[in-house]
Structure 1
Amino acid sequence: MDTRTTPNNIEQGKIIIQRIAQPETAYILSPYFLAILLNVVIDDLSIKDQVNLAKTCFGLYTTFKPNLDKLAFKQLLQSVVDNENDIVKKILDKKPSLLLQDPMKIFSPKEIKEGIESQLTWQRFLAKPLEIATFRGQLEMTKLLLPYFKELENGQAEALLQWKVHELSEEEKKEKEIAYALKMKALIDVIAKETFPNGTKKDRLIDRISEETKAALSAFRKELLPDGAVTLENYPDVEQLLIASYKAYADYFSVFQNWDQRDLYCIAGLGLIQSVLTPELGKVYCEGLWDVVESNKQISRRADELKLNDDETSFYRSGRDVHSGLSFDFFVGISYQHRMRRGPNGSFGVRTAADAVELLKNYVEQEQSSLANLRENLSQEIYPNISPRK
């Protein structure tokens, strides 16, 4: 619409805006502009940018209209992965049916390969929203999503079908523990031979390592941050991997020859695993694992914003290929007083690592128990005459 003001539009000091209808062709974007937008510019636009662009004018709205549901679904997935509860609620208040969308059916082959990349952990996922939340153990996100299924036909039954549970037998759990322990022991064996031949003591430990250590750490990083979208069932249980990493550090503490090697393992090993934890657990680490689990300390404003104890340093790195921050410069300890280690100062010893094992185990067990109760309650609402599992 064209808006104009003339002397006749001014009445008692007020401006009256007249809207003059334009011909239909005024809303048509030029083919040249569309070609640039859809073939060049769009690849550099985030999901949020594309949605916002569609709201700016009728021409862009009609251009993006066929993809608006897909964009909304992408934004929903992005917000679930990154624990943006307010955005998730805003989207589902308008369109709860997005919870039933299957990305494998509506995404292009390229989109399926790339998945939805977290803007915090930089992992790439491709699954339905509740599948992602339950598999990753996102308790608060799961609580947020479940009520919306009640608004959908057979929604609760669908929610139960989507629920991803780490259901392992005791034998399978033991096998996983052994596999994770061996993985971390292999990394320890490489780091224990490290002589830091490059640079000077003023440089970061990660910048002084040998090619062998660099290759081992690169392979470890590739496993936790593969290029394409991960398959949930084949992706490591990062919480259990972190527990195994703490335990390996305590068990093989004497294998390291000096504190530089220990600090490198903590920063590049423990720190990398911490960097792919869910934001819910990331906030706990920002507040202090010990403080939250042992003292029931509430998550502060600072920790909720994923800031460490200096109120400036972010828990997560600012980009997938950024070589600074968590896992490059520091790892995060277990208490408020000793939260961030930039090493070497020898403060993360055997006792602290053993405490970390028990604290994280307790936290994970509590979260899994709460998720199991939610699932049981959902099952009882759908099938009230079936006795609960014992």
Structure 2
Amino acid sequence: MKPVDGKALQRIRVLDLTRVRAGPTCIRQFADWGADVIKIESPESMEVSDGWGGMRDGPDFQNLHRNKRSLTINLKDPKGKAIFYRLVEKADVVVENFRPDVKFRLNIDYETLSKINPRIVYASISGFGQDGPYAKRPGFDHIVQGMGGLMSITGDPAHGPMRTGIAVADTGSGLYCALAIMTALFEREDSGKGQWVQVSLLQTMIAMLDFQAARWLMLNEIPSQPGNNHPTSIPTGVYPTADGHINIAAGEQAMFLRLCNAIGRPDLIEVENFSTEENRSIHRNELNHVLSDITRRRKSSEWLSIMEKGHVAAGPIYRVNEMFDDAQIKHLKMAAPVDHKRIGKIKLVAQPFSMSRTPCEIRTAAPDRGENTVEILTSLDYSDREIEALRQEGVI
């Protein structure tokens, strides 16, 4: 089936066994681009839910699980497993983030499912990997931020290690997993075969350290906490103003010269301690003190206007409400509207990339648990009587 405008991934069917954040972040990359995503949940009779304690209509759940259909199955019941296997026959992707041993106990591991459908791409997200000495440990974003080195390079040294304000290991793992699945689907076009994709929060966190990790691997340099300073490019950081703070990034030589001219201090480039990028890095505290004394004299809006006219990289430091009120962010349409049957019109976070012919679309709010069970089972040729019997037995 050829994709039509607006649904780039409509040919793809994804079976979503994920919970919490990393897995749903991965799945969202498929759902928003038109894939048929079936979120598989436990029946209410099992008293197990991904609704996060009754917060299914809350912003987090709605933002993660939009554009999906929901099917309830008891995967511990042979009849429930039979339903799942029938779905696998026509699916392209299965994604799970159980503890590494759970899928084998349930007989829904890659080896088992690949015998049903050799083209299936099976993705597993874990905290520390599918095997190895830490494989059975519970994996949480906060723990991995520490183990993966991020907390040691985040925050001010005077206050000790600091986690980031977002679940960066979870979100990064979901995005890496989506990329890995896309890669496997692309390779399948040549081989005709699926494969098992594995992503862990710990590996993701290390990969996301990027140049900071490479500094150790190549130079044996241990990065430290730079606070609001850039690790190597000075001056780059947060500077006080008469009514708040702004960001300035002027580490490169030509940019620093423009900054000096913009703030009315062209003489600073002649100061030996500030004359080169290397000297500014060494004498960062001295330079930041000089700049801060100057930036405190005007309001943030005045400095931002001056910096823009002087072609100096600078920007405001927004709270979230202020960020969404910015003209450029409104232009980029990062708040995407959708209708929710109980709440009414809501807005969710839009995708950060666009395509000219097949844009993404937030079509539906997150489904209620089991909202599409009858619809999906009917498509698998279950009769109304069979569906009701399955419900009575607690299979669905």
Same fold, TM-score > 0.5, yes or no: no
TM-score, normalised to structure 1, is 0.21
Say which structure, 1 or 2, has more relative contact order (CA 8 Å, 6+ apart): 2
Bigger helix fraction: 1
TM-score, normalised to structure 2, is 0.21
Bigger strand fraction: 2
